[in-house]
Structure 1
Amino acid sequence: MCLKIKKNKIMKKIFNFILIAALTGSFVTLFSCSDEYLEKEPPGSAAGTVMESSEGIEALLIGTYSSVQGQQRFGGALGTDWTYGGGASDDCYKGTSTGDQNNFNAVERYEALPSNAYMSNRWQDCYDGVARSNLTLEFLWTVQGGDNPIDDARATVVEAEAKFLRAWFHFKATRVFWKIPYVKTQTELGETLPEEVPNDSEGWDDIEADLQYAIDNLPETSPLGEVGRATKYAAMAVKAHAHMYQNELSSAKPLLDEIINSNVFSLVDNYNDNFDMTTENNAESIFEIQAATSGSNHSALVLAGPCMHQSGPAGLGWGFYQPSQNLFEAFQVSDEGLPVLDVADREPLAHDMGVASSVAFTPTDHFLDPRVDWTISRRGIDFLGWGICEGASWIRQQDNGGPYMTKKFMHKAENQSLNAYGRGFDNGKNFRAIRYGHILLWRAEVAVEENELDYARQLVNMIRERAKGSDVVMGKVSTTVFDGNEIVVDWTQPAANYKVEPYPVGAVAFATQEEARKAVRLEERLEFATEGMRFFDLRRWGIIADVLNAYIAEDVKFRTFLTGAVFNSEEDDYWPLPESQLDLQDVLQQDPAYQ
């Protein structure tokens, strides 16, 4: 059997499992009657001969990029990791109402079983992306071995893009599951079929190999000049992150240094520019997941609608993904404008849990890091221009999800016109998956472990100086009761008592490694709060059980949902492989914690 025939059979098999949604209209060809009719591909089909072209390869690659955000809103959570990285951590609650999305309840309480549908959702989203990546590679190699190959330079970049994406999807799988199969193309696997690949490792070696190919062959700027495509620096950043996950800091260091020393990236002036639709793909963005809407369709992040307020003028969404009281209190600062590193030293902050909007409530006047009100929607503070949040009347079920909502995934009221599809539930807001801030703080982690404490302080201060110089949320509200009467706002004043300062030379926080670790880790939490990183960071730092069990002990005093929940680091640090997949593939082994 010739290689081309073998490949076409493999491709046909893969087509049965995935939908190539990004194919352009150029592949729909109308045929007139002729002697060659029976030799032509059916109209509108994505047949192999159609795909074996430059246009076909590019369309397949775009289809692979389109899978980066995932398809499943809750259990997949592929683009933002909000379910597993945020909702399962001390950053956020599932939110919404008690009985809504019960599978999420099990994730939040660390009680998910192999039969939980979320496990299948995550697996499906990850390996759909893997299949698309491999399909792109197989077709590329077929074209390059045929009579009409595409330009060699472009072919090399396409392969690098596809391998970057393949590594990305496997990375997303290994964040959630104990061990994974690293599925390559049939050409690479030889006689082993994809379904026969065992999950005998975390996949790191193959992830790093694919990323190294991408580093070696991707340009420094976006291929074809199109934002959203992977670059050399994106591959370097993801590989550095992979090393951070494995506690291989010495391997992450040169990658991080090269990105920093390139002078290609910089922190944008305003923190909230990283969450604004009008400042996307900016100087800070290293790998950004693209979203868009049109009058008839959308390619929105699947988190956008679920995490919006359900009521009020911004009530376009379902009320999921509510920040915790623990996260809110982490934003408090000392009189000097410095973070309070130890949870035990933080003061309880006023909240409106259990307080009706029609009952008087005065928000805390404690000094707060201004990033808090670009991250958390709370009573008495303007919600992105949609109006002053009135508290409980805007919250779907406050006693279940608490009094707060997230802000980073909702668009500003002034940008509603940019969301042409529907009412704005599926908005066109991008997600900065990796930005320069990540690089600086990961490098600060490395500096701490190498006992370069003052360099770590300088890196952290770059983040804090940006926070200090950023725009703050404006609008000082004097109204304490929201009963339908006029809300009194002084728009010339900041909304709250904001203060943030860099760590001075000789700061106690950087006097020892132990204190410096706390300072860097807290800065990462504040800078990237609700962005799907927290659970995974706690796990790689080796402090997850202590932090989450302490969090549970305090949170049950605030709401009852976590009563009886326990985090066991030997059982709950990963989620189980889906039972449905184990039934299909005998070669897969379940995480011993779930056997």
Structure 2
Amino acid sequence: MKKINHIIFGMMLLSAVGCKKDFLEKRPQGELSQEQLTNQKGVEATLTGAYALLNGNLSGTWGNYASGPSQWLLGEVTSDNAHKGSDAGDQPNMNALERHSPTSTNDNLSTLWTRCFEGIQRCNSTLRILAALQASSGEKFADKRAAEIQAEARFLRGHYYFFLARAFKNVPLILENTTDPAVDNTADIYPAIVEDFTYAVANLSTTKPLDQVGRADKIAAQAYLGKVLLYQKKYAEALTNFTAVMAARPAITTLDYKANFDITRENGPESIFAVQHAVGTDGSGGDNGNVGDMLNYPYGGSSKTSCCGFFQPSIDLANAFRVTATGLPMIDGSYRTNPFKSDFGLTTAQKAAYQVERSLLVDPRMDYTLGRRGVPYRDWGVMQGDPWIREVTTGGPFVPYKNSIEFAEFTNGTAPGSTNVNGLNVNVIRLADVYLMAAECQVELGNLPEALRLVNAVRARAAQLPVATDKAVGGAPAATYRVNPYPAFPSQTYARDAVRFERRLELAMEGHRFYDLVRWGILKPTLESYSAFEGQFLATSRGITIGDEDNYFPIPQEQLDRSNGVLKQNPGY
């Protein structure tokens, strides 16, 4: 889905909250009027503009880190999965997020808020202009396409509002017919999000609109509706949607895990809804690329990029991939005993003599989630440890994997003159996520055998992964890789822990973890336990305490100021 750069879609609606009515009635210079857009081309262009905000980019490649669809900063760095990385002095507002001490002036929070509301405004504009066209004497859309456009716009609006609701909770609801800009943020907006996705399910087909792969379809709407219902703990209703999605796709065991992070195999059968990224072909200079992740690469001349060393997997996450002798995860937390730290903390002489710990018992997904010293990293060569890391004492010894691409794809897959902006799509929802959300529903509904089947299907697929090799010893396996199915779920508590742990392993570094911990109600014990463990090695994680306010982020101060008291700050900030 290409970004429309030649149409200005208007000012943020919220930026006008509290202003005089006559100001609101003035159209900004350069903005096309509704009358000019009230035709089929205008409606389609406005809808395309609503899709364009999915990559989080409003005004250039830099600065979109919190609004990117991967949600790496607010969904992972704020959890036990990742560190901000880079060096201690770089992006200090990100440090505050990692340590759960943000203020309302944190620019990353403002970025998410403004980008999502710009997307919402574009969805609302699409719906208004469409309604005006269909009520006019002009050339109308056929009823089927008109309903489809409404469904696409409402799907996208549901997506943007969901991103806001899980981050801020208290969000003003502004729909296409809202006339008073002074909307407070005290009402629960989840019912409206459900309504949007429900409409999308009813009015989209399993065929992509206009045969364009990046558009929302019925399967994506069912998956997203199920996810929103799951967040509301409506397990039976959510499961109905997840079941329909799984029935519409091949069995997870027949699909290649690696394809989810391969720029040459995007939009495959596991991809339920993906943000489409493109670089180098439309003169955008990377604006349509994966700008949200542009900082998140190994750092230094020994790697294939020189920027920027952010988003480093935690030592805790690396150890979560350790398994028992029977090939099961250590869901009791024993993975922290005698932890694997790669070459972290070794002396210069010890690092010079470092060898891969081939006896380490791990899940093979480890080496498709993070880069570790001595193990080949995609086709870039063997990960060299410190030379690929900007500041080891800040971010630890590991580098991210899922957001990067093969070096062989740099020519066509990265923006001209900016190899850290690539065209790799980001899956907002993929099939394994649906399997595990369905398994979660089955646990809560008491159907442990079906939950077991779903979790074991995800694990069976993981067992098919090719193992990483240690080139220093002739290509032998770089660890002892083992993934086996759970023989049984003996209790609901055990099953719940197993499903939650599997979500961490399967979806690590994909933007889900913090939001999962919040909705499960376990953010405080999880992060304070993590702080005690990770803080042994990295000061960035030491002494983190979690209060009730940390389940959500503060409302951006600039929005509070503009509202003249209409918007209320979240409790605790």
Residue 278 of structure 2 is matched in structure 1 by 292
Q: State how far apart, in whole Å, the 2-side matches of 1:391 and 1:75 are.
A: 25
- Describe the shift of the 1:158–1:567 C-alpha distance in structure 2 as closer, same or farther (beyond 3 A): same
Q: State how far apart, in whole Å, the 1-side matches of 2:168 and 2:31 are.
A: 36
The total of aligned residue pairs comes to: 537
Deviation at 1:14, TM superposition (A): 6.3
CA contact (8 A) 2:253 2:460 kept: no
Cα deviation per residue 1:363-419 (whole Å; 9 max; x = unaligned)?
Answer: 332111000001101101111110101101110011001111110000012222322
**1:359 and 2:352 matched:** yes
- Describe the shift of the 1:346–1:560 C-alpha distance in structure 2 as closer, same or farther (beyond 3 A): closer
**1:117 and 2:107 matched:** yes
> Out of 297, 300, 322, which is 1:308 matched to?
297
Q: State how far apart, in whole Å, the 1-side matches of 2:373 and 2:66 are.
A: 31
- SS of corresponding position for 1:572: helix
| Gap runs ≥5 in structure 2 | 1-6, 14-28
For the pair shown, the structure with the greater C-alpha radius of gyration is 1
State how 1:37-48 maps to structure 2 within 5 Å. Answer: 46-48=32-34
Cα deviation per residue 1:42-87 (whole Å; 9 max; x = unaligned)?
Answer: x997454442221221111111111012127455334111111100
Deviation at 1:438, TM superposition (A): 1.2
Residue 64 of structure 1 is matched in structure 2 by 50
Deviation at 1:499, TM superposition (A): 1.4
Deviation at 1:16, TM superposition (A): 3.4
Residue 480 of structure 2 is matched in structure 1 by 497
Deviation at 1:267, TM superposition (A): 5.3
Residue 269 of structure 1 is matched in structure 2 by 255
Between 1 and 2, higher relative CO (CA 8 Å, sep ≥ 6) is seen in 2
**1:107 and 2:97 matched:** yes
**1:335 and 2:325 matched:** yes
> Out of 142, 151, 156, which is 1:151 matched to?
142
State how 1:169-180 maps to structure 2 within 5 Å. Answer: 169-180=160-171
Q: State how far apart, in whole Å, the 2-side matches of 1:345 and 1:514 are.
A: 19
Q: State how far apart, in whole Å, the 2-side matches of 1:395 and 1:74 are.
A: 22
Q: State how far apart, in whole Å, the 2-side matches of 1:136 and 1:352 are.
A: 54
> Out of 444, 448, 457, which is 1:453 matched to?
448
Residue 546 of structure 1 is matched in structure 2 by 525
**TM-score (structure 1 length as normaliser):** 0.86
Q: State how far apart, in whole Å, the 2-side matches of 1:13 and 1:85 are.
A: 30
Q: State how far apart, in whole Å, the 1-side matches of 2:306 and 2:52 are.
A: 24
Residue 151 of structure 2 is matched in structure 1 by 160
**1:140 and 2:124 matched:** no
Q: State how far apart, in whole Å, the 1-side matches of 2:293 and 2:551 are.
A: 27
CA contact (8 A) 1:332 1:346 kept: no
CA contact (8 A) 1:319 1:395 kept: yes
Deviation at 1:17, TM superposition (A): 3.8
CA contact (8 A) 1:269 1:470 kept: no
Partner amino acid for 2:297? M
Q: State how far apart, in whole Å, the 2-side matches of 1:91 and 1:330 are.
A: 10
Deviation at 1:521, TM superposition (A): 0.6
Q: State how far apart, in whole Å, the 2-side matches of 1:420 and 1:324 are.
A: 27
- SS of corresponding position for 1:425: strand
- SS of corresponding position for 2:427: strand
Q: State how far apart, in whole Å, the 2-side matches of 1:565 and 1:113 are.
A: 16
Residue 409 of structure 1 is matched in structure 2 by 403
Q: State how far apart, in whole Å, the 2-side matches of 1:14 and 1:45 are.
A: 6
> Out of 378, 382, 403, which is 2:376 matched to?
382
Partner amino acid for 2:451? A
Residue 34 of structure 1 is matched in structure 2 by none
Residue 387 of structure 2 is matched in structure 1 by 393
Residue 592 of structure 1 is matched in structure 2 by 571
CA contact (8 A) 1:129 1:169 kept: yes
**1:437 and 2:423 matched:** no
CA contact (8 A) 2:394 2:538 kept: yes
Residue 37 of structure 1 is matched in structure 2 by none
The sequence identity of aligned pairs, in percent, is 35
Residue 371 of structure 1 is matched in structure 2 by 365
CA contact (8 A) 1:303 1:409 kept: no
- Describe the shift of the 1:268–1:15 C-alpha distance in structure 2 as closer, same or farther (beyond 3 A): farther
CA contact (8 A) 2:327 2:484 kept: yes
Deviation at 1:420, TM superposition (A): 5.1
Cα deviation per residue 1:489-515 (whole Å; 9 max; x = unaligned)?
Answer: 634x333321111223xx3xx111111
Deviation at 1:310, TM superposition (A): 1.5
> Out of 238, 244, 257, which is 2:230 matched to?
244
Which shifted more, 88-97 or 360-369?
A: 360-369
Q: State how far apart, in whole Å, the 2-side matches of 1:87 and 1:524 are.
A: 16
- SS of corresponding position for 2:215: coil
Q: State how far apart, in whole Å, the 2-side matches of 1:49 and 1:571 are.
A: 45
**TM-score (structure 2 length as normaliser):** 0.90
> Out of 76, 81, 102, which is 1:91 matched to?
81
- Describe the shift of the 1:94–1:74 C-alpha distance in structure 2 as closer, same or farther (beyond 3 A): farther
Alignment RMSD: 2.1
> Out of 460, 466, 474, which is 1:471 matched to?
466
- SS of corresponding position for 2:550: coil
Deviation at 1:137, TM superposition (A): 1.1
- Describe the shift of the 1:228–1:14 C-alpha distance in structure 2 as closer, same or farther (beyond 3 A): closer
Partner amino acid for 1:394? W
